[in-house]
């Protein structure tokens, strides 16, 4: 029986195939196509694998592609570096344990609290697990119920966060969705992640459209412009870091710039 993770692998391959055009990969257009993108047999031919094998992959059936096959598919589908990495991760045997919320070690918590610039720690599900006074001043995590302290829930469903990001909200929200897709697909079917998706669909009309594209991206640093109700316009650079003891923990630090 196919696992939810294998289903996500199939959906991801299908979404990338449908984004390509024959012209882009050097295939004559030929007769008119009823559906967008390449045909399955065209992708299989470009990757040098059997059509039946590729169809099984797209159907999310229990098959174990080799690293060479995954790399060939990445080339055939013209995947970006982030997409290629995601495909490799999906093809690996998944961790079958249920998700358990992480615990922030006291040393990390104290380090975060000692910083003058906004900083907080998130887990694999993007729950906010620890933050400092500067982050509270900007994002007000402490005013939220514990089950709402999640950066995706805050960004996509909280009206105050939408106002905080002002005109840049949609771009930033969509970027976060494409980043989270890389994490979610590795935990597909886990009750904690199923519940999170249900909450996002309920609270954000745009979410289903963004999620349906199956786009993935990676980013560890960037800039954000906020419209704070008390402090006015704030310009930040941000960077994120993983904890050595538990890579599921991520530290995000904001530095205010002029």
Rounded-to-integer distance, Cα 57 and Cα 91, Å: 10
The answer as to whether 151 is a domain residue is yes
Say yes or no: 23 and 70 in one domain: yes
Domain match, 67 and 179 both: no
Do 76 and 117 share a domain, yes or no? no
Average pLDDT, integer, range 150-173: 97
CB-based contacts of 16, cutoff 8 Å, min separation 6: 77, 78, 79, 83, 214
Task: Give domain status of residue 219, yes or no.
Answer: yes
Residues 219 and 157 occupy one common structural domain: yes
pLDDT, mean over the chain: 93
Are 133 and 165 part of one and the same domain?
yes
Instruction: Give the CATH number, domain containing residue 10.
Output: 1.10.260.40
CA distances 91 to 8, 148, 218, Å, are 10, 32, 18
164 plus 200 within the same structural domain: yes
Distance of alpha carbon 210 from its chain centroid, rounded?
Answer: 11
User: Are 40 and 110 in the same domain?
Assistant: no
* Confidence (pTM): 0.89
Phi, psi angle pair for 24, to nearest 5°:
-65, -35
Domain assignment present for residue 101? The answer is no
123 and 238 in a single domain? The answer is yes
84: tokens are: 């290629």
Last residue of a domain, one of 23, 57, 91: 91
Question: Are 12 and 68 within one domain?
Answer: yes
Residue 96, in any domain of the structure: no
CB 179 within 8 A of CB 158: no
Q: Which DSSP letter does residue 156 get?
A: H
User: What's the average model confidence in pLDDT over 81-94?
Assistant: 89
Q: Of the candidates 56, 91, 126, which is a domain's last residue?
A: 91
Q: What is the mean pLDDT of residues 12-35?
A: 85
- Shared domain for 86 and 130, answered yes or no, is no
Tell me whether residue 99 is in a domain.
Answer: no
> What is the pLDDT averaged over residues 118-145?
97
116 with 214, same domain? yes
pLDDT above 60 (res 234): yes
pLDDT of residue 4: 87
Give the mean model confidence (pLDDT) for residues 176-196. Answer: 95
pLDDT category of residue 214 using cuts at 50, 70 and 90: very high
Domain boundary among 65, 91, 117: 91
Choose among 60, 59, 43: nearest CA to 51: 43
Work out whether the CA dihedral 206, 174, 177, 81 comes out positive or negative: positive
Predicted confidence at residue 142, as pLDDT, reads 96
Task: Count up the domains in the chain and report the number.
Answer: 2
Kindly state whether residue 100 falls inside one of the protein's structural domains: no
Containing domain of residue 173, as a range?
106-256
* CA-CA-CA-CA dihedral for 128, 133, 136, 138, to nearest 10: -120
Segment 8-30 mean pLDDT: 89
Within a domain: residue 113?
A: yes
pLDDT at 1 over 70: no
Q: How many CB atoms lie within 10 A of CB 46?
A: 19
Domain CATH for 250: 3.30.450.180
Q: How far apart are CA 242 and CA 255, in angstroms?
A: 18
Q: Which residue has the tokens 């079917």?
A: 189
Do 199 and 120 fall within a single domain? yes
């Amino acid at each position: 029986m196919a696992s939810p993770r294998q289903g996500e692998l199939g959906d991801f391959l299908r979404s990338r195939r449908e984004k390509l055009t024959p012209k882009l990969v050097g295939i004559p257009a030929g007769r008119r196509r009823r559906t967008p993108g390449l045909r399955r047999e065209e992708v299989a031919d470009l990757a040098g694998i059997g059509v039946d094998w590729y169809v099984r992959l797209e159907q999310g059936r229990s098959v174990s592609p080799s690293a060479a096959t995954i790399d060939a598919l990445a080339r055939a589908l013209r995947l970006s570096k982030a997409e290629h990495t995601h495909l490799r991760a999906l093809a690996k045997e998944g961790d079958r344990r249920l998700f358990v919320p992480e615990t922030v070690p006291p040393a990390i918590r104290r380090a975060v609290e000692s910083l003058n610039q906004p900083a907080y720690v998130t887990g694999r599900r993007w729950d906010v697990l620890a933050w400092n006074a500067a982050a509270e001043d900007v994002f007000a995590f402490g005013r939220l119920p514990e089950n709402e302290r999640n950066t995706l829930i805050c960004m996509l469903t909280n009206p105050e966060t939408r106002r905080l990001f002002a005109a840049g909200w949609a771009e930033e929200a969509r970027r976060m969705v494409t980043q989270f897709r890389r994490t979610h697909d590795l935990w597909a079917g886990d009750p904690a992640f199923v519940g999170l998706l249900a909450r996002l669909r309920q609270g954000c009309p745009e979410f289903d459209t963004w999620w349906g594209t199956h786009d993935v991206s990676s980013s560890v640093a960037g800039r954000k412009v906020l419209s704070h109700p008390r402090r006015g316009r704030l310009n930040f650079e941000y960077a994120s870091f993983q904890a050595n003891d538990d890579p599921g923990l991520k530290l995000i630090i904001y530095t205010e710039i002029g």
